[in-house]
Amino acid sequence: MKTSDVAKAIDHTLLRPDATDREIDILCDEAMQHGFATVCVNLAWVARARRRLAGSAVGVCSVVGFPFGATTPDVKQYETRRALADGASEIDMVINVGALKSGDRALVQCDIEAVTAVCRDQQALSKVIIEAASLADDEKRAACTLAKAAGADFVKTSTGFGAGGATVADVALMRAVVGAEIGIKAAGGIRDLEAFQAMTGAGATRIGASAGVKIVQQASRLREGRSP
C-alpha cells in the first residue's frame, strides 16, 4: 500500500479531555502535511479545526455521545447538528450500550437513527461506535445489524476510552455482519503500521489513531526498503 493510501485511511485523533488549542492546531497541521482523511476531535474544537484546515482536503470528524453513549437520542441529535454547523463532515456516535445489553434494540436503533438521519440530510458521514470490548459476540452482531438498518456509513469498534480497543477478531466479526456495503473503522490501541495492516487485513476501511504520523512514517520507510 502506498504511503498516501495509508494516510487517507487514517482519522488523526485527539480526544483527550485536557487537549489544548495548540495541540489541536498541531494535529491539524500534521493532518494537512501527511494527507490524513480527517482530524477527529471533541465538539468544542470542531470550529477551530475547520478554520485551521480551511482550503485543505482534510475533513473534520466529531464525536457524539462520547465516550459512554449514555444520553438520549434527542441530545445526540442536537450534538450532531451543532457539530455539523461548526464544520464537521463526519460524526462518530456512541450507541447506548446499556440499552443494547438490556435487550432494548428498538431504543438502540432510535438512538442511532437520531444521528444518521441528520447526517444523511446534511451529506455527512456517520460512524456508529459499538464499544466492542463491552459486548458479547451476539451483542456485537446485534449492534452492527442495528447500525446498518439505521443507515450508518460505518460501524466502529471502540471509543478508545472503554475496557479495550480494536481487535482483529472484532473487525472480522463486524465485517461478516455488515458485508461489503458499509465501512468499518477500527480504533483504540492502533499504534504502529503492523497493527494498521492487521486491522485493514481483517476488513477495516478506516483507522482511528493518535499515532497517525508514526504509522505513515513507518509506511514510508517500508516502501523505501528500510526497516519500519
Choose the catalytic residue: 76, 127, 140, 156: 156
Cell numbers linked to 63:
464525536
**Residue 156 annotated to the active site:** yes
Choose the catalytic residue: 86, 92, 111, 153: 92
Choose the catalytic residue: 76, 127, 140, 185: 185
**Residue 101 annotated to the active site:** no
Spatial separation of the C-alpha atoms in residues 196 and 208, rounded to whole Å: 10
Which residues carry out catalysis?
Answer: 92, 156, 185
